[in-house]
Structure formats: structure tokens, C-alpha cells
């Protein structure tokens, strides 16, 4: 495993706790890095609080890797609902009153492409996904976030229909915008 993957894993596991509830009208934007079974990537997200516990989140991630002479690129765009609750703060998390833990799920549009010496190909899939995340307040309006997501996508690859289930784990910094 590459060093940067190990660093991201350590960050996500080491800080896996997060301020309780999104809050009506609250807006939070974040950016970070992570990895998945499909490669290392950068991510950005924006969440808007619809109620005190329910939000809507848009997120985009760009992952890429090279294998066997192919340059692969995956770009999932998520529109997911989030549910925040202090009831998720059990076990290890019960010691952290300021943790904002949440579950999420929704629709994902994923574009993939690959290039090699023989040419290139791309396809887009609309599917579903689910996951969980947290925010841990740092200073002022800044928080550390960590998220785990699991997605499904179906693509056409060399005339063959290919269904892919994959995970991603990301961590980064988020900012309250109001």
C-alpha cells in the first residue's frame, strides 16, 4: 500500500468521531482526499440542513489509477440525503459529546474512462449508494470530517456489461458557511 493511502487511513481511523446535528439552514462545505478499491482520489462536498437532523449533500470525487497499461479514471457525483443523530454516538463515540455522526444514502452518477495504446473508452452509470460519516469540530467554524461510502455502478466494457460495487473512505476539512 502506498504511503499516502496509509496516511489517509490513519487519519480517518484515528479521528473517527465528529458536532451533533446539521441544523435547519446550516451549510457546510468540505474538501479532502481518500482512497477506494478503484484508486486514490480527491473529494469535495456541500451539505444543506433541511431540518435539525436531515440534510441533503452533493459530493464529487475523482479517482484514478494505472494498471496493465491502462489509465483508469472514475468520477462519482453523489446527491444523498443525510440523517444526523446523537444516538449514533454509542460505544467508543459516547465519550465525545461534540461528535456529529450521520448516515447517508442516495443517487450516484458515475463516469469512468480508460486509455491505453489501442484507444480509449468511457461510460456513465446512474445508481445508488449508502454510507456513514462524522464531523469533529476543530476551531471556530472548521471541522475534520471522515466518510465511508459504498456504491454500485454498471458499465459497458468491451461489449460486456460490468457491475461494480466499491467502497471509498475519505477524510478532510469542512467549514460552516453560516
**Average pLDDT value for the chain:** 80
CB count within 10 Å of CB 169 equals 18
pLDDT value, residue 17: 30
Please tell me the predicted confidence (pLDDT) of residue 164: 77
Domains and CATH numbers, the chain: 3-176 (2.40.160.20)
Q: Which residues contact 132 (CB under 8 A, 6 or more apart)?
A: 88, 101, 102, 103, 104, 147, 148
What is the CB-side half-sphere exposure of residue 27 using CA atoms within 13 A?
3
More confident: 84 or 163: 84
pLDDT exceeds 90 at position 96: no
- From 85, 156, 84, select the one nearest 121 (Cα to Cα): 156
Segment 14-41, tens digit of pLDDT: 333 333 467 778 899 999 999 887 778 9
More confident: 66 or 147? 147
The answer to whether 12 touches 169, Cβ cutoff 8 Å, is yes
Contact 103, 83 (CB under 8 A): yes
Q: pLDDT tens digits, residue range 139-150?
A: 889 999 999 999
pTM of the predicted structure, to 2 decimals: 0.77
Q: Are 25 and 53 in contact (CB under 8 A)?
A: no
How many Å apart are CA 41 and CA 147, to the nearest integer?
A: 13
Rounded CA gap, 65 and 78, in Å? 21
DSSP 71-134: EEEEEEEEEEEEEE-GGG--GGGGG-TT-EEEEEEEEEEEEEEEEETTEEEEEEEEEEEEEEEE
Per the listing, cell 433541511 goes with: 50
pLDDT, tens digit, for every residue of 39-56? Answer: 789 999 999 999 989 999
Instruction: Give the model's pLDDT for residue 27.
Output: 92
In whole angstroms, what separates CA 57 from the centre of its chain? 10
Amino acid at each position: 500500500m502506498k504511503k499516502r493511502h496509509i496516511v489517509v487511513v490513519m487519519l480517518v481511523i484515528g479521528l473517527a468521531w465528529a458536532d451533533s446535528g446539521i441544523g435547519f439552514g446550516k451549510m457546510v462545505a468540505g474538501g479532502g482526499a481518500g482512497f477506494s478499491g478503484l484508486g486514490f482520489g480527491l473529494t469535495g462536498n456541500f451539505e444543506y440542513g433541511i431540518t435539525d437532523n436531515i440534510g441533503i449533500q452533493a459530493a464529487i470525487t475523482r479517482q484514478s489509477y494505472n494498471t496493465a497499461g491502462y489509465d483508469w479514471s472514475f468520477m462519482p457525483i453523489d446527491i444523498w440525503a443525510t440523517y444526523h443523530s446523537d444516538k449514533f454516538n454509542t460505544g467508543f463515540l459516547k465519550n465525545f459529546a461534540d461528535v456529529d455522526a450521520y448516515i447517508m444514502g442516495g443517487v450516484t452518477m458515475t463516469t469512468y474512462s480508460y486509455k491505453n495504446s489501442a484507444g480509449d473508452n468511457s461510460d456513465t452509470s446512474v445508481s445508488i449508494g449508502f454510507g456513514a460519516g462524522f464531523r469533529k469540530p476543530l476551531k471556530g467554524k472548521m471541522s475534520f470530517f471522515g466518510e465511508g461510502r459504498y456504491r454500485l455502478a454498471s458499465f459497458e466494457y468491451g461489449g460486456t456489461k460490468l457491475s461494480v460495487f466499491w467502497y471509498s473512505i475519505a477524510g478532510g476539512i469542512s467549514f460552516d458557511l453560516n
